[in-house]
Structures are given as C-alpha cells and as structure tokens.
Amino acid sequence: MTSILPWSHCNNEWNTDNCLDNSRHNASFSNVSKEANWSMNTNLTKMTPSEEYWKYNVLQITSGIEDLGGIRLELLACLFAAWVLVFLCLFNGIKSSGKIVYVTVTFPYIVLIIFLVRAVTLPGAIEGIKFFIIPKWHNLLSTKVWGEAAVQIFFSSGAGWGAILTMASFNKFHHNMYRDAIIVPAINSGTSIFAGFVTFSILGFMAHEKGMAVEDVLTQGPGLVFMAYPEAISRLPVSPLWAILFFLMMLTIAIDTQFGTFETITSALTDEFPKLLRKKKMLVTAGVCFLGFLLDIPLIMQGGMYILQIVDWYCGLFTPMLVAVIECIVIGWIYGTEQFYKDIEMMIGYTPCTGWKICWKFITPVVILVTMIGYKPCTVWKICWKFITPVVILVMLVFNMTQLQPVSYNHYQYPSYAIVIGWVIGMVSVAPIPLYMIKAIACAEGSLQQRIGCLLRPISEWEPVLRNEKNRMETCTLTYFKPTEVDKCELNSTKNTDEIQNIL
C-alpha cells in the first residue's frame, strides 16, 4: 500500500548485489577505452527485484530443508487471518458459502477481463499471444507433455479430490447432473484458455521490456504468481492499483478453492458420525480450521517452501489419479454400470438411449455436441465408466510414476530422507481407503471369503427418499426392504458400525 511498490527497485535493505535493476542494466559503457584488455563475466546469477523481494523479504528462505529456520511472524499473522476468514465463510456450512461464492467466483473473472484489456495494449503483448496460440506440433510426440497435461486436468477440474462429490451432494435429487458433467469441464477449459491470453500478454510485455524471448521469461511453480506477475505489475502505470486488484483476485481464488476442500472434510466427518457431529456443525468447522492452522505452521517457516514442494510433488500428483481409478472400478464393476445408469435415469427423469458405437477419441466432442442440442445420454457412458476411463487414468498414473524425477526446488536437490518422507506423506493421503476396507471386513460376519463377497455387492433393494434436512438441504438416502441372504452380512456390518458410533 505504497506509492512505489517495494519490489520495483533494488534500494531495499533485503536486496543484494545480484539484484538486476533496470537503471543498472542500462548503464552506458560508451566511454570505455578500446585498448583496454579486460573481459566482463555476463554469466553472473542475477535476480529481479521481485524475485529478491519474494525470497529474501517474504520467505527469508534458507539454504535447504536441513535448515528450516524460524517461523515468519508476518506470515503467521496472515495464515491466522486466512483461517479466520475461512471459518467466517463456512461456519454455517453450505448456506453461508453458497452466498459468498457468488463474489469469489465472479470477482476473478472481472479482474481478468480488466487485466486482459490493459495487457493487450502493452508493447510486446502480441508476441506473447502468438507464443501462446501457435502450436508446436513436435511437442505432441513427447510423452512428458501428455503426462503433464493429464495432471493439469486433474488439478484444474478437481477430479479425484472429493470436492465435486461433496458439493453435488447438496443438490436437489432431480438436479440435471448429466448437464453439469459437460458444462463444468467446458467452463474450466474455457477459463484456462482465457487466463492464458492474460498471462502470455503480460509475459510478452516482460520479454519486450527485457529484450528477451518469451520462452526465456517463463517460470514455473509459485514463481509465476509471486515473482513474474508482480514484476510485470511494477512496470505498469499506476502499479499499486494493479497490485491491489491482482492480489485481491488471488485471495478470492484461494478462498474459493478452500471452500470445496474444507467442506469435503467437514461433510465426511458429519456424515460418518451423524449422531455425534451433525448438530455441532459450527464446532466441527472451528475444530477443522484450528487443525488446519496448526498443520500449516511448518509451511510458513523460513524453510517452509521446501516442505510445500514435497507435499505438492508427492500428494498432488498420485493421490487424485489413484482415487479416480478406484472410483471408476467401484462404479463400473462393483456397484455396476446398469444400476448406476438406472440411478441417473431416476434423477434426470428420462430413459437413456441405446445409440452410438464410437471410438474413444471421438467420445468427448460427440457427447458435448449431443448435449448442446439436447439429446439424451447414451450407452457410451457405460463404456467409459467400466473400461475406457479407468484404463486411461491407470495408464496415466503408471506413466507419471515411471517418469517421476526426485523432488527439487529450483536448483536445490533434496536429500534422500526427504524423498522418503515425501512418499510417506503421499501414501498417508490415500491410506483411509484400505483402512476403511479393513474396518468394513472386520465388522462383517462369516468367513473372510463371505465377508468380502458380501461387501463387494451393492444392496439389491433400495429406493430414494427425499427429506428436507436443516443441515444437508434436500438429499437422497437409502431405504432397505426385506433383506435377502445376500444382504445379511451388509446389515450385520451396518449394525456393528452403528454400535461403534454409539460408543463414540
């Protein structure tokens, strides 16, 4: 909140001799004698003012994970304020967040439009846009490109993270989820393309200012947000205004992302222990916020960036893909595509058709086209659920695991024990799946084979019951009728689980 942004120059106390200021960079050497026999090393490691501001003032980063340093008090205060804001937005569950999301979703689009209008008028913006939209066809032959594209889809769409399922559970029973399954990915892809125009317009401007190629100013990871963007903003007229808009946009995006993740945790707890926690939603929200605050403290230490990189490297890559594979197997082979198809018919109100036998590579465009013109869902979804989707995701998962390089941050290489810790953290994030399976088998009755056989069968008789609940809006629950022999172990398992919950 100053007239001159602190990351726009090299005259701050945290700046080093390696800070690359524009005034220093454009120094004149015209008076140097031709006869002088000397050479200047142009390979010195230089950093922009925004890079030094991020590393030496905000993070005060240490040399490696071996030295975590102390807690950054300024970041601790920001972390506490962020979790308080999350609590205030979510203390009343979906009722409060559903209203706030109108602001957190629309504001980033407004800011992006403003940035785009300004960015395309900057010198060099056209070169950045050309770099963005002109394809490099030879990259399509790189397996690494396809692997990273698959990972990006999981990140941007939220598939496998649980937030989509959690938020969908609050919809009305007859909500057209088939339509949403097409619209949401389409909007997600459109937003990514739109944001790409903004990003590469600014990167083109930066390249023009520095006299470099666009590809030479590209950075990855947090650096693009906290170093490249602030540097570009510092070069704009009325830069404090643009900085305020940019970081407000980042705050709303972060809060909006947190809504889904946070609601997934609280809903899982209240649904698993409804008698104990359902009526104590505010206390559950406060408890999860406090726990999240405590778990985040190591990340705001001086060496916290190294920990964040480990978590992102090993959890963000494999966990959602593995969960997605398991979900497809459960729906396609255990619950059954036929039963799942009947459920969709019951929800959306019309009978799915039996058309189209098409190749996998044509599924997505054809389904989108058919949805746009109003046709009904078809059997192609069954093929996807049961065969194509789990196989494709599994191939991507195996490919990314085989191509995975040891975690690194910039030029820093992590020690072996840090890599082991990363794999442990990644496995812990998916550990509840096998643990819950073990719990279900232990609670069932009969021999081991009978228990597993019964637990892998869906309940044969059920119907939806619509209820108006105060905490969950209008939801669908399962009602059981005259149990068959097949269902006995399931009922015994449910009975034993209820006994455990009553004890708790």
CB 406 within 8 A of CB 314: no
Residue 473: strand, helix, or coil: strand
C-alpha–C-alpha distance, residues 5 and 351, integer Å: 61
Confirm if 298 and 68 have CB atoms less than 8 A apart. Answer: yes
Whole-angstrom distance between the N-terminal and C-terminal Cα of the chain?
A: 51
Burial of 328 (0-12, 13-18, 19+ CB in 10 A): buried
Residue 54: closest CA among 80, 75, 79, 77? 75
Roughly what angle, to the nearest 10 degrees, separates helices 304-329 and 416-428?
40
Contacts with 415 (C-beta within 8 Å, 6 or more apart), sequence order: 64, 65, 66
The tokens of 109 are what? 């689009």
Which residue type is seen at 258?
Answer: Q
**Spatial CB neighbours of 129, under 8 Å, sequence gap ≥ 6:** 120, 197, 200, 201, 204
Residue 492 marked as a ligand binder: no
92 labelled binding-site residue? no
> Does residue 18 contact residue 46 with C-beta atoms inside 8 Å?
yes
| Residue at 39: amino acid letter | S
Q: In three state form, how does the secondary structure of 30-98 look?
A: CCCCCCCCCCCCCCCCCECHHHHHHHHHHHCCCCCCCCCCCECHHHHHHHHHHHHHHHHHHCCCHHHHH
Other beta carbons within 10 Å of 35 = 5
Strand pairing class (408-409; 473-478):
unpaired
User: Is 188 marked as binding a ligand?
Assistant: yes
Rounded Cα gap, residues 335 and 151, in angstroms: 27
Q: Rg for the chain (alpha carbons), in Å?
A: 27
What is the C-alpha separation between 405 and 284, in angstroms, rounded? 39
Annotated binding site for Na(+): 156, 188, 256
Annotated binding site: 156, 188, 256
